[in-house]
Structures are given as C-alpha cells and as structure tokens.
A and B are shown apart, each in its own frame.
Chain A
Amino acid sequence: MNAIVEVHALRKEFRRRVRASGIRGVLQSFASPRQETVVALGGIDFRMEAGESLALIGPNGAGKSTTIKTLTGILHPTSGTATVLGMVPWKQRTQLALQLATVFGQRSQLWFHLPAGETFDLLAHIYELPRAEYRARRDELIERFDLGPLLGTSVRKLSLGQRMRCEIAASLLHRPRILFLDEPTIGLDVIAKQTIRELIRELNRNEGVSVLLTSHDAGDIEHLCKRVIVINHGVIAFDDRVSTLRRRHLQKKVIRIRLNESSVTLPALAHVEVLSRSDYGAKLEVDTRERAVAEVMAELGTLPLADITIEDPPMEEIIAEIYAARSTAARGVSEP
C-alpha cells in the first residue's frame, strides 16, 4: 500500500498564560506573569494509505483539530515529523493546498451574501483551474450534489444541510487527493446527515479520494470509515478497524422483545438489566462477559414472543467507555 500521510512522534505544545481570579489575580499577573505549557499532541504516530477513509475521534480538547491543522500546514508542530503526499505541510503549505481540501463543519468558505456559484468561480481562480476543466467539474458536482436549485440563492438563505452540500462541492472543484473533514455533520438533521455521508462515501469509492474525518457523531464513523483512531489527551488510545473497536469494547448486547400478551411477568435473569418496559415489550441489556446471549434468548423463549431483536449498543457508548478509560490513565496531562 501507498502511504499518503505519515506522522511520526508529532508533538504540539502551546504556552498559555495563567492567572488567579479577581482583581488581585490580574494585578499579580502583571507583576509576575505565569505561563503553563499545554500539551495538545503528545507525540502521535500513524499512517494513512491512499484511498483510505479514516476517522479521528476523541472528546473536546483531545487533539483532533490540532492534528488536522498540523497536517494541513496551519500549525507548526513543536517536534516530530509529518508528511502529506510527500510534502512537509508546514513548510510547503501552499503547494500542498493544491492537492488537498478541508471542510470545517463550523466554518464556511462560501461568501455569505452571494450564491455559492460565485465562490465556485473564485475558487477556480485561486486553484488556477483551466476554464473548460473547471466548468466540466463544476457541472458534474452540481449534478452529483443536486445543487442546481440552490445555485441562484445567496448562501445566507440556505439551510445548514444545503450549505454543507455546497461547502463540500466547493472543496472538491480542484479534485483533491485528500479530504480533511472536521465535524462535517455537526448541527445537521438526520436526513441531511445521511445525504452528506452518502456523498462522502461515493467520493471515496468512485474517485478514490482519501478521507480523514473528525467527528463526535458515531454514525459518521460507522457509515464512512473502516479504520478509526481514538485520540485523547493528545495521545492515541486506539488505532484499528472500526469492527475491531466494536468487538474489543463490546461487552454488552441489547435485546428488544415484543410480546403477544400484555402484562406478562419477565423471568428474573442474571446479569441482565431491564432498560425499559412497556405492556407489550421490553428492552434488556446483557453483560456478555458474564453471560452468553444464547442463554438469555433460551430463557426468553418461554415467553409469548411476537418478535425479538439483538443489537449492539450504540457506538457512542463504546467511545465513551474508551475515553473514560484513557482519562483515568492520562490524568495529570494538561488538556488543551
């Protein structure tokens, strides 16, 4: 495989001024200013292969955005090395920018008072795209992202989901080889999230665009990425396939039952917690470390069942568990 991102011992520290609260604290900080070092990245290592879709997840302040900003050349690391498409990002930022794209969910590159098409035209100039090539690409993206009806409307009048479709299309005009997405679905409704995920997945599959994604939304990770890096307190807590993450940290299963009769008394089941109960149904959680799901199913089989389903717990719970475990281990390291 061909690595397009290589990160080795990448460390980023910030200096932050600290002072006590109140007027006295302010006066003291004038007399003897104090600074503390915040470790945003504590020497991380990873590789990303061409065409891969990789999720970078972690709680707020974990170092996700710092990683993306360092890999796009915006931040200079304190130490360590990184190459993206063979270039050192903070030394060759402008050159690198021609081959990558960034979409920050909470920021916009579109001109607020103008229709998105005007920003597209500007980006064609900025990325030095030949006119014919630009037009063909723009039309292709308009069709694929279904932007036709939106192009005459100024960006400020678009919904967040529509704007995000325009944002992603704008970042793809120059056919980037890597797409950095920083929380692309933040604030979107379910339908808009699905649309955005579908579009990103298509890009990855059909155009071979490598995707590095940060998100707090487990759905983004499950739908878009095969591999996940969990980062917390600036260090990597997990780096493997999403399926491995599930398997390794999956210690519970959720069983939903629907009954034919009302007010049936559930049997007492060891190591099973009743999460919710209604007249005709129940939601149960099995601790799989203590008890096999099959055993519980066998016991439930004595009930007048209309339907039964087994689910994995939501990805959020798995991620929260990893964060909690790492937080305990990493206590004492300052959070950015």
Chain B
Amino acid sequence: MSASSSLLGIPRLLRKTVAVAEVTVASQLAYVGEQLVRTIFLVLILYTFTQLWNATNRFQDVEAVTGLSIAQLIWYLVFTESILLSAPGLRGTQVDEDVKSGDLAYRLAKPIPYPFFQLGADVGSRVFRFAINLVVGCLVALVVVGPIRLSPLSVAAAVGLTLTVFVADWVWIFSISLLSFWVEDTFGLHLLYRRLLMLLGGMLLPLEAYPEWLAAICRKLPFAYLVYHPSRLFVQHEPSGFGHARLMVLLIGVVGLLPLWTLYRFGLRRVSAQGG
C-alpha cells in the first residue's frame, strides 16, 4: 500500500476508533456505581490536602510561595488527580493482558489495526473516568474550600488540552505495554512512568511551589505538559499559554509514535500461538 493511500485511510480509521471509544463509554456506564466508589480515594486526598495546606498556612503564607490561594490549590489538585486517577491501571493497557491471554488473536483478525482499536478503548474509558473524577472532585472542593473564580474560557481550554494529553499519554503507555512482547511483566516500567508524571509533572503541587532549580528542570521535561499545564489552565483567569502547551503535548505524542510503531511492528512477529 502506498504512503498516500495509507494517509487517505486515516479518517476512516479514526471514525472506527471513535466508534470503539463510544462503545467503551457505553460499557463503562453499565457500572457507574463502581466508578463512583473508586472516587473515595480522591475524596480522601482532597480532604487531607485541605487540612495540610491550612496547617502550613499558619506558619507560612502559602499564596506568597505558590502564587495560588489554598482554595485554588485544592481546585488545582482536583484537576491533577482527575487526570492521573483516570489513567489505566498500573498493569498498563489491555495489551499486556491480550498478549498473555491470547485475546490478541481476536483483535488482530479485525479490519482495524490493533493500536487504533486500543486507542479508542483506552481513551474512551479514560475520558469517562476523568469526567466522573472531575465532577466528584469539584463537588468535594465546593464543600471543603468553597467556590473559586473560574474562567469558562480557561476551563474549556484546560479540558480541551486534557483530551490531547490523554492521546499523547496513551502513546507512551501503549508503547510501554508493547514491551510485554519481550518481558514477562511491564508493571515496573508503568510504575516508573507514573511516578515520574506525579513527581515531575506537578501532581500534588504546582511547579511554582517547587525549588527554583527543580522547577526549571521540570519545565523542560515533558511530564509537566501532561499534568501541570492543563491543571494550571483550569484555575487561571485567562487561557494564556494554551497554544504553546497544546503544541508541546502534540509533539510529545508525535515523538512517541516512533517507539510505538517500532515496538508494534517487531512485537507482532513475536506473537506466539496460545493453546496449540
């Protein structure tokens, strides 16, 4: 197949991917109660951090250090947690499971390339979990610290950027999962990637609260674009920096396509028959 005909097929593939995402969301809706139970952890985190920030504020002016009020910090935390808690489990995407169980055979025998199928399934379920986390998180924040002034434009930009983040993040998570063609368990690699996102991406604190030298490093690394930037946009009064952040997130995703494509191409040759 020529490169031009491959490119012409992309809109068709994307339509199939969206159809997979829609079915995934419908499937997640089937057990929305279970999803709500999972948000208990988010509620506990938000409550604990509210107490911590209030205690810290008695000794040092938090707003002077972070540039955000305690209420804004909690609303920021709502967004970072919603992004990270919506990520696939540490066992990675379905790929690990599909490779080990042999279900990959079913997926490969369909006229949709496996990565596109998995993109639809993973991003679809992540969007759903993100929405649930965000709604519950906002309700908790309203109760524990009250409302803050949110700009509709900034919120829209933050949500839009987050959707791009999900795709870029998926490219890297999927690539790590593809390593299961070679290694028994990708748990350690997923754990490492997730911890880097948490620590260097600014999950608990905005980068302004980091020591200057560390903040400078974090700003140059890709992790902050996947967590800090969309969350900072959420609590900002104007959507400044959206264009740059979006470009960087797209770049992170595009760069990740090279390891993904390479691993997928070589991984397919390692598919072994399960059960005879």
Interface, chain B (partner A; CB < 8 A): 12, 15-16, 19-20, 23, 26-27, 30-31, 102-106, 108-113, 268-269, 271-276
Binary contact readout A133-158 vs B (1 if CB under 8 angstroms, 0 otherwise)? 00000000000000000000010000
- Contact sample, A vs B, 21 pairs, CB 8 Å cutoff: A12-B273, A40-B276, A64-B276, A65-B273, A65-B274, A65-B275, A66-B273, A72-B108, A72-B109, A74-B108, A75-B273, A102-B106, A107-B103, A111-B23, A111-B27, A118-B26, A122-B23, A126-B111, A126-B112, A128-B12, A336-B276
**Chain A, 86-127, CB within 8 A of any chain B CB:** 93-95, 97-98, 100, 102, 104, 106-109, 111-114, 118-119, 121-122, 125-127
Q: Scoring A residues 61 to 86 as 1 if CB is less than 8 Å from chain B, else 0, what string do you get?
A: 11111100100111110000000000
CB-CB < 8 A to B108: which residues of A?
72-74, 93
Do the beta carbons of A73 and B27 come within 8 Å of each other?
no
Chain A residues packing against B (C-beta within 8 Å):
12, 14, 40, 58, 60-66, 69, 72-76, 93-95, 97-98, 100, 102, 104, 106-109, 111-114, 118-119, 121-122, 125-128, 154, 336
> Of all chain B residues, which has the CB nearest A119?
B23
A60 contacts which of B16, B102, B104, B276 (Cβ < 8 Å)? B276
CB pair A125 B15 closer than 8 Å: yes
Instruction: Tell me the bound Cα distance from A72 to B105 in angstroms.
Output: 9
What is the CB-to-nearest-CB distance from A161 to chain B, in angstroms, rounded to a whole number? Answer: 20
Whether the pair A104, B105 counts as a contact (CB closer than 8 A) is yes
Contact A127 to B272, CB < 8 A, known contacts A111-B27, A114-B30: no
* Cβ distance A120 to chain B, nearest Cβ, rounded Å: 11
A107 touches B105 (CB 8 A): yes
- C-alpha spacing A93/B16, complex, angstroms: 17
B117: nearest chain-A partner, CB-CB:
A126
Contact indicator B23/A102 (Cβ below 8 Å): no
Contact B20 A122 (CB under 8 A): yes
Q: Roughly how many angstroms separate A281 CA and B109 CA in the complex, as a whole number?
A: 53
- Given A73-B108, A104-B106, answer yes or no on A40-B12 (Cβ-Cβ < 8 Å): no
Contact between B109 and A102 (Cβ–Cβ < 8 Å)? yes
Complex Cα distance, B195 from A296, in Å, reads 80
Check if A125 sits within 8 Å of B106, measured CB to CB. no
> How close is A9's CB to chain B, nearest CB, in angstroms?
18
> How many Å lie between the Cα of A126 and that of B273 in the bound state?
25
